Structure 1
Amino acid sequence: MEGKDEDVRLGANKFTERQPIGTAAQSQDDAKDYKEPPPAPLFEPEELTSWSFYRAGIAEFFATFLFLYITVLTVMGVVRSKEADGNTCKTVGIQGIAWAFGGMIFALVYCTAGISGGHINPAVTFGLFLARKLSLTRAIFYMVMQCLGAICGAGVVKGFQPKPYERLGGGANVVSDGYSKGDGLGAEIVGTFILVYTVFSATDAKRSARDSHVPILAPLPIGFAVFLVHLATIPITGTGINPARSLGAAIIFNKDKAWDDHWIFWVGPFIGAALAALYHQVVIRAIPFKSK
């Protein structure tokens, strides 16, 4: 029990180990007496001496590693089949790629929510940081571990099929022919807004206090949002909405084409995440307008 107490005291959400994505939940009995949890401190030095802090970072690393491993392998399989005979029907196809991304997010958020909050995406971490759901210390640590996990995941894929990986683009995100950089940036902003808005809504502390099923079902709408955004934007940018995913593939592929538009896959998701955080906090929850 000592480890769990420490997680509750110093963990990503600070209230209950099982609540996903860094928000607080209360029981049905407490719904009437719900109180807004205090914002996370900007700096929390005591986190750096806690095993739960490093355990959460390791969970983010492995979750992002597995995410890149499955999704980039799926992308490579579809592209390779298309190159071979001009027909993607023998593989999972574009819809299958979208399912791979959405399905992995669903599974990984479910598995890691109680440890790290299950972010698996620097844009999600950034949005939650802006909403003061976690400290700057933890946010930076998560982002670093997510990027390292993504690099390792893409590296393993290249190790399995080095020649096809180089020839087929390595799953790197680029703006497709026929679309401008502005089109790509807009797609990344809107796509990430949808994802992060879903994260906030699916894990909202006040909804959790009223509806006990919300924390249990939270990974499902998040994964489904990733699936739908991929269906819409794969033809435009290959769908980033996750800077770690884009960085890992770009570093391992390491060709000029992957780097030419790479800024889009950081700027777009961070703008989208910031807008989602602002919209949820100001419009949906109206937190700045509530009386003390």
Structure 2
Amino acid sequence: MLNDKTHSVLIYHFTDPMMGLTYESEPFLRQLETHFGKRVRLQFVMGGLVRDVADFMIADDFKDGKEHAFIRYNARLAKIYESEQSISGMPIKMDRLNLFAENRRSSIPLNLAFKAVERIYPDKAEHFLYRLRYATIVEQRITTDESELTQIALDVGIDKAKFMQAYQSDATHNALQHDFALRAKLGIRALPAYLFCYGDKQRLQIGVLNFADFVQIIDHLSDGKISPQSPILDEDTLQNFIQKRPLVALTEIRHAFCLADNQTVTNWLDKIPNAWQWVGQDLIKSVA
């Protein structure tokens, strides 16, 4: 597991595709990419946030009877999501959330879907994870349902039959259990969490990290050998950046290139032909 190379830092990011806290961290992850390049590598590890939603339900959810309990829980969860929008300004839309129900009690299907894509289309795995978060948190799709997961796989160009075969395979289930075992071995009790590895050194950090936190930890772990470098922004650089992503928010671009505000981002995008086709319209409306 340890990164035995001393020219880069490997970061294991323990999360769950349904997590608003990780979705709100996307701008900081974009900064890692543009300011550190290949000197920092990020690997996602599934943490299985909701094994059974009953673990998170409270007596008040049942005050109108069991048939209304999930409605009340989803409404309460929506408010939690909305409160997380202040972290970075990534848009969160929560007017009709219906993520959990009596027959959809867990976020494990989302974790399993990511591991399936990671196994068969590793080059699409990060894009799929982003699209899965976007579908859950912005589009409010019922991503705890397997049919919805299949459609999201199609959305990012993954063959339906191959996805379902991988999703149902023992190999994918074993890969997910490996992720869970790693979380247990490290004693991680809360998500998100990050395990930083540099040479034979490790540091485990629990909770949301902003870019300054990442820089401080990487600097300390590498004894100052790995430090950020401000990216040069031009039209080619920006075009390459947005073309790598199925969706991107203005605030992600702003953080990635340390721009003053979203209007500055808009001015840059206007210089690039067809640039707006890569920027999610819901994201634009929410953060512009």
The structure with the greater share of residues assigned to strand is 2
> What is the TM-score when the length of structure 1 is the normalising length?
0.24
The structure with the greater share of residues assigned to helix is 1
